Amino acid sequence: MAKLQPVRGTHDIMGDKARTFRFIHSTFQNIARRFGHEEISTPIFEFTEIFSRTLGETSDVVSKEMYTFEDRGGEKLTLRPEYTAGIARSFISNGLQQSVPCKFYGFGPMFRYERPQKGRMRQFHQMDVEILGVPEPQADIEVLALAATLLRELGMMDDITLELNSLGDPESRLAYRDALVKYFTAHKDKLSDDSLARLEKNPMRILDSKDEGDKVLVADAPKISDYYNETSRVFFDEVLNGLDALGIEYVRNERLVRGLDYYSHTAFEFVTSKLGAQGTVLAGGRYDGLIEKMGGPATAGIGWAAGMERLADLISPDLVPEDERPIAVVPVGAEGQTEAMRLAQVLREAGFAIDMSYRGNMGKRMKRANKANAVAAVLVGEDELKRGVVTVKKFDDGSQSEVALDQLLDHLAEYR
């Protein structure tokens, strides 16, 4: 029988990687709560229309990457490729328009059928932040400050650059769209097939093209800042002034776009050169038209998502704390086994991390304690139990002493 392997583009998370994920996630939770966000967990699959309508039929995610299937009831379902659409659906489904502003954070697996490579998996994990119901630029500043705080507390902000742009309001975007269509139509014979398909439906996505010929054309394409109206200009200036006031550095990137119609105003990416081709570690923007497009009330929205795998590749191992060292409970002889199990349960309920091996003589069990990096061992023997004591061996200083059972919790208190 062939050796079983995980599905291509998926991976098992254990050991040091699990410890790193746990640290990043706990840091994220702590910061999100400090910023006043409430945790949300949406289903990992939704009706396909939730994503196809919101992400756009011409997007790569919808046309090439979604895991879509029909269930036994004939419903067409899709494993979530991103978080925002599901949170927007939840906002509508739960009638939360009366509760704005809604500030959410979430974490979980996402699924996209892509060519697996470093930093890009078919099942990957994202942390997500959203603010719904706040049309003012203060929301943009706040989600960017949350992102910068996270990356700073993970010790990686020195290697990351915030790239920022404004897509303007709908009026500005429409004027810019017309300019792009006019420009790229004049060069249709040089566009890639993908960009030709986007020319009429989604011309801003041409600016994201990876085709080398398209890139040459994009370099001379009109700039969106030339089409801002006063509303768009004032909004973006307020965002930039807010970031300046908070000491958050950024670089203006006029080619940074979100190609879907419901995106507006601020768009951003935190990028690094440390991960090769997959340099974006956190990205987001404002999507004031999304909830209305999905059938809900007109509601402003802004948020971002960060890839856990990419952050794990960036973080310094020295920053990730070691797991708590356990105390080993070691029965001495068969007679001490039952009492050792009882004592282990008492210690666990008192808040101690306890490791206990299941077989072998005392020598083998002590080797197990060393392998588990135990901080101490509690030796439970028949003779000691008759006297109401156990032996405690502390590994760091090598000390060993008899301790009365009724004083054991106090004796071990430093390890709780």
Cite the annotated binding site for L-histidine by residue number. Answer: 82-84, 112, 126, 130, 258, 262-263
Closest Cα partner for 306 from 336, 273, 269? 269
- Walk across the sheet containing 354-355 and list its strands: 354-355, 327-332, 376-381, 389-394, 400-404
Long-range contact pairs involving 68-77 (C-beta distance under 8 Å, separation at least 24): 75/47, 76/47, 76/48, 76/49, 77/45, 77/46, 77/47, 77/48
Annotated binding site: 82-84, 112, 126, 130, 258, 262-263
Whole-number Å distance between alpha carbons of 140 and 118: 30
Closest Cα partner for 113 from 47, 67, 50, 44? 67
Q: Looking at residue 73, what DSSP letter applies?
A: T
In 45-99, where does DSSP find H-type helix? 48-55, 60, 84-93
Type of residue at 217? L
Within 8 A by CB and 6+ apart from 359, the residues are: none
For residue 165, give the 3-state DSSP assignment: strand
Containing H/E element for 379? Answer: strand 376-381
